[in-house]
Amino acid sequence: MRSWFIFIWCTAILIFTCTSSFHDFIEFGVVRFRWDGRPTFSDFLSPLPDDLSKGFLLQKLGHIIAFHVLTVLLLMKFRSHMIILALAASFAALTEFMQLYFSRGGRAFDIGFDLLGILLTLAIASLFRIKHSDRINLNN
């Protein structure tokens, strides 16, 4: 059952990232895919824009939350934080790279926002694990 939740969430992330217009998806519920067989790969290395608008920051918060949820689901399935980090980070890189083929702006810096969600979640999980094990040791 846990695997299904992971699969469903990954599918949702793929739909969010590959729909041709995220704005149309959010505003009107329109999911549309447009394939670009010859993407501009140099766009992947574009820097952060100079003007960080509210909409831009909300999208980046969405990256953090999406990969936070994915990491929580992976924590329910796997024990190794290294495996979870490898799986989630690989999926983050894949989704950003795939956006180039779906007429979206896949960017390397977005992987950083995804990693922020992953690493914060793993850090919090580690703290809870340490506190929980300390409590168990105190009871002995």
Question: What confidence tier does 133 reach under pLDDT thresholds 50, 70, 90?
Answer: low
CB 16 within 8 A of CB 25: yes
Least confident of 2-6, 54-58, 107-111, 134-138: 134-138
Average pLDDT across the chain, whole number = 89
What's the pLDDT tens digit per position in 39-91?
A: 989 989 999 888 889 988 999 999 999 999 999 999 999 999 999 999 999 99
Question: What confidence tier does 27 reach under pLDDT thresholds 50, 70, 90?
Answer: confident
**What are the residue ranges spanned by the domains of the chain?**
2-32+53-139
Read off the pTM: 0.87
Instruction: Spell out the SS3 assignment of the chain.
Output: CHHHHHHHHHHHHHHHHHCCCHHHHHHHCCCCCCCCCCCCHHHHHCCCCCCCCHHHHHHHHHHHHHHHHHHHHHHHHCCCHHHHHHHHHHHHHHHHHHHHHHCCCCCHHHHHHHHHHHHHHHHHHHHHHHHHHHHHHHHC
Question: What confidence tier does 95 reach under pLDDT thresholds 50, 70, 90?
Answer: very high
pLDDT over 80 at 139, yes or no: no
Place of tokens 């969600």: 117
Distance CA 37, CA 73 (A): 33
pLDDT over 50 at 140, yes or no: no
